[in-house]
Amino acid sequence: MKVKPKPSWLKVNIKSGVGFPTVRGTLRNHDLHTVCEEARCPNLHECWSHGTATIMILGDVCTRGCRFCAVKTGNPGGKVDPMEPMRVAAAIKRLDLRYVVLTMVDRDDLPDGGAYHVAETVKRIKEIKASVKVETLVGDFRGDKRALNEMLFSPLDVFAHNIETIRRLTPYVRDRRASYDLSLNVLGYAKKVRPDLLTKSGIMVGMGETFQEVVESMKDLRDVGVDILTIGQYLQPTPRHYPVHEYVPPELFKEYREVGLKLGFREVFSGPLVRSSYRAEKVFEKAL
């Protein structure tokens, strides 16, 4: 499918502010990965220039192969760096962040899917700076409740797991080990066992979905108690990835936000360049 050139509203004005070299240097010095780089996020320069970054832990090789994602896929062979939680905490202390987003590659090669490692990282961050808010954008852990409990009862502030797309497109867009209902079950379980915790999910549009299908996904997410929703334009990372079917105009993103707020979400961050962790601190504050 031939994709039209990007419209003006998707053009990113790259500005490397004073915070950019500090964030980049600190992350390099602590040997840390960011989803900003690995997933080729268009907002990288903006976020880093404001002194924020989404730190990706458990390595840079994902055991799943979703068709929308630019992160490397393969088998890490069960390898985990036990010192990574301390390095993450040290980097956050160095950057003096108020809000941190931790994300991860899927680690189906580990018995708990990496849940203990993520939870340990959250604990180390809170130990070194108790006031920092921590959002974890994690996988489904294959729906394992023990693994989910490890995560959910760590001192995190927001539990995020992306449904990614509508029900009909899930088998074509996501890895076969992921499923629409599994993601809903994970989000619903999180709200059930930690009703005090904010839950968050995200949807990409422009993949061939209809307006009504997006609304149905919104309703499904509200039915399992999701508090915060992000909706952004899907951008094809490379020619071998899932194709862009359309560039959704800004007016439609505004309409999605209005519908979402009427459905009861605490906050809906909807726009062409919105990503799961984009301006996460502001979204958190609005949701409260």
**Mind listing the domains of the chain with CATH numbers?**
14-287 (3.20.20.70)
What is the C-alpha separation between 240 and 234, in angstroms, rounded? Answer: 14
The pLDDT, as a whole number, for residue 278 is: 67
Q: Each residue of 27-72: pLDDT tens digit?
A: 656 555 554 444 445 545 455 445 456 788 999 899 999 999 988 9
Instruction: Give Dmax (Cα) for the chain.
Output: 51
| Residue 179 identity (one-letter amino acid) | S
114: left (phi over 0), alpha (psi -120 to 50) or beta: left
> What predicted TM-score, i.e. pTM, was given to this entire model?
0.87
Which stretches does DSSP call E strand in 51-197? 54-57, 61-62, 72-73, 99-104, 133-137, 158-160
What is the C-alpha separation between 140 and 176, in angstroms, rounded? Answer: 13
CB 231 within 8 A of CB 202: yes
Q: Which of 44-58, 156-170, 227-241 has the highest mean pLDDT?
A: 156-170
Read off the pLDDT band of 143 (50, 70, 90): very high
Distances 118 to 88, 127, 169 between C-alpha atoms, Å: 11, 14, 29
Report the DSSP beta bridge partners of residue 269. Answer: 230
What is the C-alpha separation between 227 and 286, in angstroms, rounded? Answer: 11
Output the six-digit token pair for 71.
Answer: 């992160």
Q: Each residue of 165-213: pLDDT tens digit?
A: 999 999 999 999 999 999 999 999 999 999 999 999 999 999 999 999 9
CB 243 within 8 A of CB 1: yes
DSSP conformational letter for 249: -
Report the DSSP beta bridge partners of residue 228. Answer: 200, 267
